[in-house]
Structure 1
Amino acid sequence: MPQLPDDLDAVAVRTWCSLALEALGRERAEIDAINVYPVADGDTGTNLYLTVESAAAAVEAVFAAHETGSTAPATADAVRAMAHGALIGARGNSGTILAQLLRGMAGVLADGGGEDRLREAFARAASAARQAVAHPVEGTVLTVATAAADAARDAGPGLAAVVRAAYDGARTALEATPGQLAVLGRAGVVDAGGRGLLAVLGALLETVSGQAPVRRSWTVPATIAGPVDGGGGTAGERVDGSADDCPDGGSGPAFEVIYLLEARDEAVDRLRTRLDALGDSLVVVGGDGLWNVHVHVDDAGAAVEAGVEAGRPYRIRITHFGADGLLDTRPHTEPARRAVVVVVPGDGLAGLCTEAGATTLIARPGEPPASGELVDAIRRAHAREVVLLPNDAALRHTAGAAAEQARTEGVRVALIPTRAAVQGIAALAVHEADRSFDEDVVAMTAAAGATRYAELAVAERQSWTMAGICQAGDILGLIDGDVAVIGADVPATARTVLDRMLASGGELVTLVLGENVPDALADALTEHVREGYLAVDTVVYRGGHQSAPLLIGVE
């Protein structure tokens, strides 16, 4: 039997994220089915799953990057990664609130994960979540989180006792939600967001105690009474008190708008006021310059413009509510025969691939897309056949999961396991929609496989590599994923990398320059290739804001 943790250290955080993802994976369909508030869009369980998936992936990345042998990463690194991953991957109203709950906990647990810190973490989480919601309503996930915090505060000694008390408090509060919110009582269900939070708390309880809580169905009798006096809402009430379009057929906002925002705190305060006037279900979470914004509005453009005025919005997702009140993500035109979906590391390549007819998804530095985002991109492509180019070896499993999900929706998906953006460019260059799907996939796969790839990176610390020991600040030349060259500057390292790659032949060199790399470097490398390899052509693209200063492909 594995040893149970005495405090919530990095390994325990990793286990918690993994178990929470498993729990939501099992239960998301049930949670989706009971989702009626604030909008009966049937996706609360899925949104929570995708949010935790992003959090778990961020924690895994911390462990993968840790290079101190058998010692685990610091607890602070793990909990901050969890919170950051949830923030950038938060989906929907429920996922955004969960991200703030995890952020509140991380702010405390970064300084230690003992039982007293955990009590404080639950309290901080509940408080932070309420502050993030423009108009808090009782009978929701906020109520469940507060009950968990109150129970944890009064729990007996021991880490497991604190978590068990929080879980039991949350469960009791969840059972009471139909009596606090009329729409839940009429539907005969508990709050879906609270139900998802209970699954996350159950995973934490299993982490610290070794025993998973007993699962149960959370539907309630349809005859249950509506809100008691002083309850948190009236029939069909939304988060801000306006009529909910789904249970009662009233008119509600037409769009759900979500985006990440880089902005100063004072600008976000103004943004909250602006968005609160535009719509409802407003939740803004985050801090330290990065925020996740969620709102339901009639004017999606105005919501995005408000973000532009506040800072730099990106990963913008706008979803239409159908006539039945459900989120409608389906285009209303006949699907195309075939499309290509490409993950790219920067804005420049996104423009290039879009011009070539592909549907693009930008992977920001340190923010790999979750499977749900890839599924959304496949849906946006709106085609019967889709070729998916992940362009990153680390996205193999994520892309595979997205492809499987899309197949269940009737889309024929071929996943070409491209490991770098230059391989994706090569595959897209030979794409022909007029030939058969299988022939097109074979040709694109062959083009990608015939392209060797490299990138330049800056070493963050002293480390042992395949090319020797590097020091912080050294320029690393990675060929086919392995460090092959250690240099002092970008131009010399790039020339050495090119020479090694072209030693085995090649006809075309592709250079993708990062945002701050001068054109003079491209000119110098193009001249280097022209002088040393007469039969080799060079093409240059601007990649925009990407993690690597230079990407290189040789075909």
Structure 2
Amino acid sequence: MPHPTLALAMEEIPLEGTIALRTLARFVDLATDALGAAREEIDALNVYPVPDGDTGTNLHLTVSAARDALTAAREADAGREAALTALARGALLGARGNSGVVLSEMLGEVVRRIGRARADERGAVVMAEALERAADAAYAAVGTPVEGTMLSVARAAADAAVERASDPDARTGAVVTAAAAAARAALARTPEQLDVLARAGVVDAGGRGLCVLLDAAETASTGRRPPRPPRGPRIPVPVPTPVPATGPATGPATVPATVPATGPDDGDGDVPAAGADLHEDGPSYEVMYLLDAPAEAVPVLRERLAALGDSLVVVGGEGLWNVHVHVDDVGAAVEAGIEAGRPHRVRVTHFAEQVVTPRTPPGLDGGRAGRAVVAVAAGPGLDRLFADAGATVVRGGPGHQPSSAEVLAAITGCGASEVVVLANDVDAVRVARAAAEAAEADSGLRVAVIPTEAQVQGLAAMAVHEPGRSFDRDVVEMTATARHVRHGAITVATERAMTMAGPCAPGDVLGMVAGDYVVVGDDAHAVATDVLGRLLAGGGELVTVVVGDPAAAPPDLGERTAAWLAAEHPVVDVTVFDGGQDRYALMLAVE
């Protein structure tokens, strides 16, 4: 796609009035990347309510799901209200863990307040009220609110935002900046509020994640990057006895002798870590599920689950809820959901295994063995091609970008101990990497993402996949083959724009090479041959032509293109496939 001009980039920074949808899109992009970078740091800080080391991963996956849903809605030209609804629903469906579920409710409140904003309201007031409602919702969502957690950080940020917005001259960016600064200050105070943090010498992991999000919001709303949090003082932490690998947890998890109180790893080799007590009488399992149920059934469900365990969070609305609880009796927790409605996507985690059990070597994890490939496919024909080659398929493509949760489900559901993921799209690469990180952290799988940027690169990589090779060698061969593929595509312009090949108008045929527009024309066949000529200028032995959905591809375009190749390049082998992909009349590859 063409790079935006500086003027368009500056339009993303709101100065007054209604908060723009493009600003929210920029925020979730920045937040996803920032949480991805801070994921390991936040995971290492995770000691409350259970030291399961996954808070950063859960927050990252939750925001990534929200970003994916918003991106898909915008690509489908959904209106503002539908796009905001998609963002909130994406966060709800993709939420993982206690922190992720709470965050999904907070994001939902923020976008709902933004969606109800009137044209005559100041953006500063809208944002302040959004943050205030988000904090209120976070407290309401948790069965037993505890200070010194992300709840305290959220409340401090909201209070600062409201105070700053009371100035009639305050703008949206100033409100977000005040909220982010207050959150960082509140985070530093969390060890004073929660003994388990003080004993471990760390700040709250969920609160740190919320600070990362607010910092991303500050960048999205002002264009500035907040200062890097200072590295906190070192607090000596005695090295305790490790928890036994079998039986109930009876002591704290092992930690290094010193850990930083705040701030990320600065590269000197000291990685933040933490330990916390896991008592024999504490819940052994984390249970999560989505629940289809009427609102009137939720209060009873909360009572049932509160009696079974702790860390209870139930969020959602309009018939769909995300349920999280820590219990000993998994069956009873699920049965409570069945009595309330229809639970699905049930996920159970055994804390003792998650905290103390070493990662299982490939092939020894409860029956998992062998290697599988997960491929993102952009159309029904491409689905069949990848499936016939042995891949587990996830539907993707323009307007149908998969979520990290969908890719994660495919990775963990394929039954293999080693998994290769073919993203096959620029935007899907980030999603695939987030899912791969989660699969490795949660399931001990060995996962490699090959950053294929086009469907035809994925097909080429799939063709050389050999499960009999070592994992590393197979990944190297597939990656090298994909990189040697020169790829292009033919599409039709839907709006007036300036491209690298010149201006285009709706209905113009656009030719692309490696994602860049190189030709604008009025005849699909002529543009296709132009693109192929460019791709073959450096030589080539095999050309692959993938024909799109009939609505996108003129009749016989694939056959006419193959005939042109036979006449103009007779020594080149040509293969034509029916891919059925949307938007692209042809996808082209030269090997």
Report the TM-score when normalising by structure 2: 0.59
Judged with a 3 Å threshold, the aligned counterparts in structure 2 of structure 1 residues 247 and 258 are, in CA distance, closer, same or farther, namely same
Contact 1:24–1:45 under 8 Å retained in 2: yes
The 2-side partners of 1:410 and 1:134 are apart by: 30
Give the letter aligned to residue 33 of structure 1.
A
The 1-side partners of 2:91 and 2:124 are apart by: 23
Matched, 1:97 2:102: yes
Aligned partner of 2:504 in structure 1 is 469
Aligned partner of 1:121 in structure 2 is 130
> Offset of 1:392 from its aligned partner?
1.0
Contact 2:374–2:410 under 8 Å retained in 1: yes
Q: Choose from 335, 344, 347 the match for 2:377.
A: 344
Aligned partner of 1:238 in structure 2 is none
SS of 1:40 mapped into structure 2: coil
Contact 1:272–1:284 under 8 Å retained in 2: no
Q: Choose from 20, 43, 52 the match for 1:41.
A: 52
| 1:105-127 Cα shifts (integer Å, max 9, x gaps) | 23344646643233212222223
Judged with a 3 Å threshold, the aligned counterparts in structure 2 of structure 1 residues 536 and 37 are, in CA distance, closer, same or farther, namely same
SS of 2:134 mapped into structure 1: helix
Q: Choose from 426, 429, 434 the match for 2:463.
A: 429
Q: Choose from 113, 135, 146 the match for 1:138.
A: 146
Contact 1:178–1:188 under 8 Å retained in 2: yes
The 2-side partners of 1:247 and 1:61 are apart by: 41
Judged with a 3 Å threshold, the aligned counterparts in structure 2 of structure 1 residues 14 and 161 are, in CA distance, closer, same or farther, namely same
Contact 1:190–1:218 under 8 Å retained in 2: no
> Offset of 1:395 from its aligned partner?
4.4
SS of 2:349 mapped into structure 1: strand
SS of 1:431 mapped into structure 2: coil
Aligned partner of 1:200 in structure 2 is 213
Q: Choose from 108, 111, 128 the match for 1:106.
A: 111
Aligned partner of 1:212 in structure 2 is 227
| 1:28-52 Cα shifts (integer Å, max 9, x gaps) | 4453234244443211123224445
Aligned partner of 2:43 in structure 1 is 32
The 1-side partners of 2:30 and 2:576 are apart by: 49
The 1-side partners of 2:379 and 2:320 are apart by: 18
SS of 1:247 mapped into structure 2: coil
| 1:329-370 Cα shifts (integer Å, max 9, x gaps) | 967147656443423346885576456443444447557567
Give the letter aligned to residue 104 of structure 2.
A
Give the letter aligned to residue 340 of structure 1.
V
Contact 1:391–1:417 under 8 Å retained in 2: yes
Q: Choose from 332, 335, 355 the match for 2:365.
A: 332
Give the letter aligned to residue 230 of structure 2.
R
Contact 2:75–2:398 under 8 Å retained in 1: no
Matched, 1:149 2:164: no
The 1-side partners of 2:209 and 2:433 are apart by: 25
Aligned partner of 1:248 in structure 2 is 279
Aligned partner of 2:4 in structure 1 is none
Contact 1:189–1:218 under 8 Å retained in 2: no
Matched, 1:390 2:419: no
The 1-side partners of 2:503 and 2:89 are apart by: 33
SS of 1:343 mapped into structure 2: strand
The 1-side partners of 2:191 and 2:29 are apart by: 30
Report the TM-score when normalising by structure 1: 0.62
Contact 2:160–2:182 under 8 Å retained in 1: yes
Give the letter aligned to residue 420 of structure 1.
A
Contact 1:391–1:421 under 8 Å retained in 2: yes
Judged with a 3 Å threshold, the aligned counterparts in structure 2 of structure 1 residues 113 and 361 are, in CA distance, closer, same or farther, namely farther
The alignment of Structure 1 onto Structure 2 pairs a total of residues equal to 502
Judged with a 3 Å threshold, the aligned counterparts in structure 2 of structure 1 residues 152 and 445 are, in CA distance, closer, same or farther, namely closer
> Offset of 1:202 from its aligned partner?
5.1
Aligned partner of 1:226 in structure 2 is none
The 1-side partners of 2:544 and 2:213 are apart by: 51
Give the letter aligned to residue 247 of structure 1.
L
Aligned partner of 1:234 in structure 2 is none
Judged with a 3 Å threshold, the aligned counterparts in structure 2 of structure 1 residues 364 and 323 are, in CA distance, closer, same or farther, namely farther
Contact 2:34–2:212 under 8 Å retained in 1: yes
The 2-side partners of 1:272 and 1:529 are apart by: 63
Give the letter aligned to residue 47 of structure 1.
N
The 2-side partners of 1:382 and 1:216 are apart by: 42
Contact 1:167–1:205 under 8 Å retained in 2: yes
Contact 1:144–1:194 under 8 Å retained in 2: yes
Judged with a 3 Å threshold, the aligned counterparts in structure 2 of structure 1 residues 399 and 134 are, in CA distance, closer, same or farther, namely closer
The 2-side partners of 1:105 and 1:349 are apart by: 38
SS of 1:391 mapped into structure 2: coil
| 1:147-205 Cα shifts (integer Å, max 9, x gaps) | 43234334563457755664576567657767877766776765432332244345556
Contact 1:258–1:318 under 8 Å retained in 2: yes
Q: Percent identity?
A: 37
The 2-side partners of 1:550 and 1:290 are apart by: 38
Judged with a 3 Å threshold, the aligned counterparts in structure 2 of structure 1 residues 198 and 365 are, in CA distance, closer, same or farther, namely same
Contact 2:288–2:324 under 8 Å retained in 1: yes
SS of 2:373 mapped into structure 1: strand
